[in-house]
């Protein structure tokens, strides 16, 4: 499902963000990507979610070779994945319903389908009662749950989360991780970048540790 083959990413400087990364992830897995700040987690995440291209090597995600994606092919690739950010990336002047429905609107889905699907997914993240609220009226945990709902609305095969609990207190972080585990249990591959090692230990999932741009350990 996800294959990294001899992937290098070098920024001007030169700054070697990733060095000879080789990795294989199967459908339905739950993986933590860990490592200290500046280790290359964000670069790894960008390559995985199609927001950057490797300098050399191959990144294959859901059958697409990210290295070869053209600008016009990127939107289609992104429609196959769900992405969650530490800062939620919600639109402040749109309601929860409007934020969550955005991927379906972009895909040109019918209004009735959008209505039903948003209701379902908000129910799944326990936010049905907040559908008319604006992001600023929600707590951090609720905002992250809206972001998760938006990432799940179009049934992605892969959910990528970059520090999804980074801005949340431990209780809310636990709540979000439980939600991600539930999503994984339904068959979605979940890839979480985090530096919260305590939580990684507690969850006992597959872990990929990255340090100085090199994969240090897979456990």
What does the binding site for other proteins look like in residue numbers (CB under 8 A)?
Answer: 46, 51-52, 71-72, 74-79, 83, 89-94, 102-103, 106-108, 150, 154
Nearest residue (CB) to other proteins, 89 versus 182: 89
Q: 41-56 burial, b if ≥16 CB within 10 A, otherwise e? A: bbbbbbbbbbebebee
Q: Are 65 and 41 in contact (CB under 8 A)?
A: no
User: Nearest distance from residue 92's CB to other proteins, in Å?
Assistant: 7
In 3D space, the residue among 184, 216, 186, 217 whose CA is nearest the CA of residue 203 turns out to be 184
Nearest residue (CB) to other proteins, 105 versus 202: 105
Q: Are 168 and 144 in contact (CB under 8 A)?
A: yes
User: Nearest distance from residue 79's CB to other proteins, in Å?
Assistant: 4
How far is C-alpha 14 from the chain's CA centre? 28
User: Nearest distance from residue 63's CB to other proteins, in Å?
Assistant: 16
Continuous H helices in the chain: 41-48, 74-78, 96-106, 111-124, 140-152, 170-185, 197-203
User: Nearest distance from residue 106's CB to other proteins, in Å?
Assistant: 5
User: Nearest distance from residue 16's CB to other proteins, in Å?
Assistant: 18
Nearest residue (CB) to other proteins, 111 versus 181: 111
CA angle 134-135-141, nearest 5°? Answer: 135
Nearest residue (CB) to other proteins, 153 versus 200: 153
Nearest residue (CB) to other proteins, 42 versus 119: 42
């Amino acid at each position: 499902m996800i294959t990294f083959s001899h992937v290098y990413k070098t920024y001007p400087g030169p700054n070697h963000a990733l060095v000879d990364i080789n990795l294989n992830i199967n459908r339905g897995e739950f993986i933590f990507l860990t490592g200290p700040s500046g280790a290359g987690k964000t670069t790894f995440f960008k390559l995985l979610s199609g927001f950057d291209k490797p300098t050399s090597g191959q990144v294959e995600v859901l059958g697409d070779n990210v290295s070869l994606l053209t600008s016009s092919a990127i939107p289609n690739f992104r429609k196959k994945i769900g992405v969650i950010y530490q800062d939620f990336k919600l639109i402040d002047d749109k309601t929860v319903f409007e934020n969550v429905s955005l991927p379906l609107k972009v895909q040109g889905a019918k209004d009735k389908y959008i209505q039903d699907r948003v209701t379902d997914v908000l129910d799944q993240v326990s936010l049905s009662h907040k559908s008319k609220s604006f992001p600023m009226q929600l707590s951090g945990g609720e905002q992250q749950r809206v972001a998760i709902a938006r990432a799940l609305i179009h049934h992605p095969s892969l959910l990528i989360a970059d520090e999804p609990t980074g801005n949340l207190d431990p209780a809310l972080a636990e709540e979000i991780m439980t939600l991600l585990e539930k999503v994984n249990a339904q068959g979605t591959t979940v890839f979480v970048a985090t530096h919260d090692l305590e939580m990684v230990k507690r969850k006992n999932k597959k872990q990929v540790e990255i340090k100085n741009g090199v994969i240090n350990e897979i456990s």
